Amino acid sequence: MDNKDMIALLKDTAKLLELHGANPFQVRHYTKAAVGLEKIGQEVGGLSREALHKIAGLQPSTGKFIQEINTTGTLQRWEELTATTPQGVREMLALRGLGPKKVRVIWSTLGIESLPELLRACEEGRIAQLPGFGQKTQETIQASLAFREKQADKFHYASALPYATDLEKQLRQAFPALLISLTGALRRKMEVVERVEGLIGTEQVHTVFHWLDQQSMLQKEDKLSGPFAWRGQFVEHALKLTVLFCKPKEFYKQLILQTGSKAHLALFVGEGKQLGEVLDSIMEPLSEAEVYEQAKLPYIPPELREGQIELTWAREKGNPRLLEMKDLRGVFHSHTTYSDGKHSLAEMARYCRDLGYEYIGITDHSQRAVYAGGLTPAAIQQQHEEIDHLNKELAPFKIFKGIESDVLADGDLDYSDEVLARFDFVISSVHTGMNMDQKKATERIIKAIRNPYTTMLAHLTNRLLLKREGFPVDYRAVIDACADQGVVIEINANPWRLELDWRWVAYALSKKVWISVNPDAHDKESIQNMYYGVCVGRKGGLTQPNTFNA
């Protein structure tokens, strides 16, 4: 078990203890162990007791939990708690607006043990009548249940992509002559997808079909499959898979058909013709570009095929080259062990340098973020002295002194102006008080944007894809304010965030707002999430000249 899974196990144990009304000291025991493990910069899975004792900063109590997990693969306390907690009650803990204490009230008072029962209780108004709840909490729970239902059976792009690329690699190795490509939402790099889709051009359909049938990582759905369609799922995580087959001469026409959204494919239709007629009139193309050319359309990269901005991007802007990973020169928005990061300042800097970047901007949390080890003015001074030392050691690589400053409830930034003036740049972001209506949220953010020390606006709505909707904002008003104040807007490359949402990138660019692709890295490996941020930027038409860190 890796550190990430151990941390999740410890946190889940703490939640279950609180749910069952355990002594708060017991709850803190597991919570502190999870926080302590988050601070460790090395994997501890499989390490002996002696090796664990040698890890600097690892508390003995945390080491005991790790040793138990390494020995048994679990925690006995967690096993005991899950055995006495209905699955539906555990699922309630993931809902917005519900913590362990409120779930305990619902469970013990109303006897509710499943999400359908919880929804019914909300619809009947019984939740609002519970002590400490009220109508607003009930509405929040209902909205969270609706969001959960809407996101069921969906996967983050970053979660689905490895399965797809691994299968594609194996197919190419087994059948080198195949014409093969990903299609659908995954090829368009949508932030969440329902399935992996692919297209194969071959005369040997039966042979490839049989190969897919034999793969242990796949499970076929015979009732859904047909002569030219293999349908099933990846066994792990039940991720759905559809592989369509066509003749090689039809491959590139079918590739466009199976990649583009309905709105994009409508661009091919004109003068009363059907899409099929248009594609049938195109003679055996050797590339997608030929299909677009024969259809008298400019070539559109897969990411842009949403039926929104692509023709404007291609015709009015001259089909510019979209942003690529190689364009990025540096990294902003990264955390270290000074706050809630896993790796030290030096480790983050060296890792970034070794990836070929020219600089890194360190942005640990500000002091109001006590839960994340926010920096006091004294800690800031200590960090800045270390940065000065490392800048001499690592030159010409550069470390910029930054901070992720909490936007307070009234829109002010954490710290006084005197402290904020000590940083090279300031990222402003909302982390608390997120139950706001659109008017309040927009006013709060715009006030922060107008603060003269704000350099960059981070994770605009604080959404967590597939888990939590962000708070509502007036995107145009916020983007306009950034344009007026010269504030950079972040594309947060964390696969759970991926915002600024790609649907608003084009508007930001039209207002000449700089976009920065940031990893929001809490460990050095997460710097490589920059790729997913580039995907978001490309979907919005982002190019190198419009990118702050390119």
187 with 116, same domain: the answer is no
190 with 255, same domain: the answer is yes
Strand partners, 125: none
Burial class of residue 46 (count of CB atoms within 10 Å of its CB; 0-12, 13-18, 19+): exposed
Supply the pLDDT for residue 271: 54
68 with 189, same domain: the answer is no
Q: Select from 105, 135, 150 the last residue of a domain.
A: 150
214 with 195, same domain: the answer is yes
278 with 188, same domain: the answer is yes
Of 267, 220, 262, 212, whose CA–CA distance to 240 is shortest?
220
CATH number at residue 194: 3.30.460.10
386 with 250, same domain: the answer is no
Supply the pLDDT for residue 268: 86
Of 493, 494, 502, 490, whose CA–CA distance to 541 is shortest?
502
Question: Residue 452: which domain range?
Answer: 325-546
Supply the pLDDT for residue 75: 95
CA distance linking residue 63 with residue 76, whole number of Å? 15
Separation in Å, CA 311 to CA 6, 63, 260, 264, 541: 48, 58, 14, 10, 11
Supply the pLDDT for residue 38: 84
327-339: string of b/e by CB count within 10 Å (b at 16+)? bbebbbbbbbbbb
Instruction: Give the Cβ contact number of residue 345 at 10 Å.
Output: 22
162 with 297, same domain: the answer is yes
Structure tokens at 399: 């470390």
Supply the pLDDT for residue 235: 93
Of 306, 290, 350, whose CA–CA distance to 527 is shortest?
350
210 with 127, same domain: the answer is no
Question: In sequence order, what E strands does 122-187 have?
Answer: 155-156, 179-182
Dump the DSSP string for 412-468. Answer: PBSS-HHHHTTSSEEEEE--S-----HHHHHHHHHHHHTSTT--EE-STT--BTTTB
Predicted structure pTM score: 0.85
- Low pLDDT (below 70) residues in the chain: 270-273
Q: Which residues contact 371 (CB under 8 A, 6 or more apart)?
A: none
Structure tokens at 406: 């909490």
Beta carbons of 362 and 394 less than 8 angstroms apart: no
260 with 356, same domain: the answer is no
138 with 170, same domain: the answer is no
500 with 356, same domain: the answer is yes
Question: In sequence order, what E strands does 139-238 have?
Answer: 155-156, 179-182, 192-193, 195-201, 218-220, 229-234
Q: Select from 316, 345, 365 the last residue of a domain.
A: 316
- Strands 239-246 and 218-220, how do they pair? unpaired
The total number of structural domains in the chain stands at 3
CA distance linking residue 205 with residue 362, whole number of Å? 53
Q: Which residues contact 274 (CB under 8 A, 6 or more apart)?
A: none
48 with 165, same domain: the answer is no
Supply the pLDDT for residue 47: 87
Supply the pLDDT for residue 229: 97
Burial class of residue 318 (count of CB atoms within 10 Å of its CB; 0-12, 13-18, 19+): exposed
Q: Select from 127, 150, 173 the last residue of a domain.
A: 150
